[in-house]
Structure 1
Amino acid sequence: MTTNEKQLNEILFSVLDLAPVIEGATPADALRNTLDLAQHVEKWGYNRYWVAEHHNMAGIASSATSVVIGHVAAGTSRIRVGSGGIMLPNHAPLVIAEQFGTLETLFPGRIDLGLGRAPGTDQVTAHALRRTLQSGADDFPEQLEELRTYFTPPAEGENRRVRAIPGEGLKVPIWLLGSSGFSARLSAQLGLPFAFASHFSPENTIPALDLYRRFFQPSDELETPHAMVGVNVIAADTDEEANRLATSLQQQFLNLIRNTPGLLKPPVDSMEGLMSPYEEAILHKQLSTSIIGSKETVERKLKEFVQETKADELMIHGQIYDHKARLRSFEIVSEIMRAN
């Protein structure tokens, strides 16, 4: 082992929750499960708990992301709560500054603002959200600059006509999220923390992290790079059970490939015969960094993943149909955290 290899006890563990709506249940059930999971992972020592903005998707209950963050923060006491992420092109930057300024005012020192530049939905729904598609991902740097200005106190003598109240003067950590090199380079130039979506874009993970670290410029927010990497982890008491639980995630991605998103399906004994060879190849590519197995298997694969990515923090995503099995998966990861 070389001296620059990272160990699991040197990194932070956090949670990404898509608030899955499962077959046979409702969004109300999903949001109750979200709070229950957050309360458990806080007790188990996770660092932060993020929810994501998606729209017009029957299987995801966190479309009103800021509201869900408030719900989770109110039901917990220590864990950081935030967005993974807010899709900034869908919103006026002032509105996001006010929302997260309000959250930070209510829950001081516990709120994160993770930002993405994708719509998090289809183009028709994006139009319904924005009323116009004149601005989009290409305008993200300008929207980000405007948003950050709202959190900055005005200079002496500056007559700022539009102010974010609450928001102005508050320290809300801003993260840039990405699945390619664009946000990696932008977060590096601005000296911001960066979160990469390896859980659905594994082939771009190492190139994006290399870009971020190579071009990072220290800032008032961050002296050295801080990279968080999202990863699918499905843990169970045996490899066989974990592999079975993982078929819910696989079916979900298969439906996304087919452009037929829906509710999270129960696990099946085998995926054999459920997809074409072409679909199987895409599925394998998109989920190639997923970590599935028993405690021993997951621990070994987590160590390998950290060595490869040199991540400062892992954001664990566990898309599991049965809520008790989902809790057990995150509990197993917490046992690995404490043992290393």
Structure 2
Amino acid sequence: MCCQKVAEAEAMVSGGIQDVFISNEVVAPSKITRMVALAAQGARVSVVVDALQPLEQLAVTAQQWGTSIDVLVEINAGQDRCGVDTPGQAARLAEHISRLSSQLNGSVNFKGIQAYHGGLQHVRDPQQRAAAVQRVVAKAAAAVDAINKKAGLKCQLVTGGGSGTYRLEAASGVFNEVQPGSFAFGDADYARNLQLGGQQGEWQQSLWVLTQVMSVSAARACAVVDAGLKAVSLDSGPPVLLETPNVAAGLVAPPPGSNSSSSCSSSGPSSSSSGNACGQLPAVSFEGVEFQNGGDEHGKLLWPQAIPQLPPQLPSLGTKLLLQPGHCDPTANMYDSIVAEREGTVVAVWPVAGRGPGL
């Protein structure tokens, strides 16, 4: 199970997941100790590195705890975040991992490489997306080759890819593990990706933010809801409203009669502890409605005014609505719990363990 921070790995292990991969660098000694403690408790733990100092700290700490950690070299796949920049650097770091393993009784074990490019997950055009992934595949292949020839080591794992590109990495002949995750929830940004057949989106949306109308202005063709910056992430664009239930690029509710589960994060005053947590679809047209940021606690729903003399029919005060987040990851990170709903009935409330900053 991929995690991006130690707190998430701790939550997974606490929940019964015994194989966790922290697909991010861990450098603080206190975090390294917490990560090693998971392995000492019996979990299989792996992590990526791109520098010697945290690697050596990890090796010594794991030896002190009498356990071992699997280590992958992170490759800069083109996003220019973390990762080594050249195949030669990858080979030297892999060789150092192997040397430390011999010196410190297998406290760290070289397992392979990670070549993940997050930005490519949101390239809209499928052909452009495929071409960009081929460049990542070439970088990964070059690193694998250098590690084999220069360090004499085999990469058991070549991991990367996400919800927008995983099929491409899986079919590359180089990657043998992929890391899709956002597909489980979905968001408005992923729904804008075009598929080879020309359709938008790939999965049915399951994550919704429950909000409530708190003010209405017919003069401004506007309804204000209680979901602002504290309720939805806007880094990938605002949440949107579905014009019709079968359009993957917006809101209002899961398709009527759907047998699949959906989940709603409740935004403050709109929370519901029983019954229909997600509310009923009001008899109002949401065609062309846009969400606009209104501040920390406010979101503005703006209706188009094509015919000014005919004000739109607006939702009444207290109407509950569902927002499809623009970006599911940071939105889910804002909430203490997720309400799981099936066909209008709450079936579970899941605590969001491991949420918060990168600890």
Q: TM-score range by the shorter chain?
A: 0.3 to 0.5
TM-score by length of 2: 0.41
Larger RCO (CA under 8 A, 6+ residues apart): 1
Query: Max radius of gyration: which structure?
Result: 2
TM-score by length of 1: 0.43
> Which structure dedicates a bigger proportion of its chain to helix?
1
> Which structure dedicates a bigger proportion of its chain to strand?
2
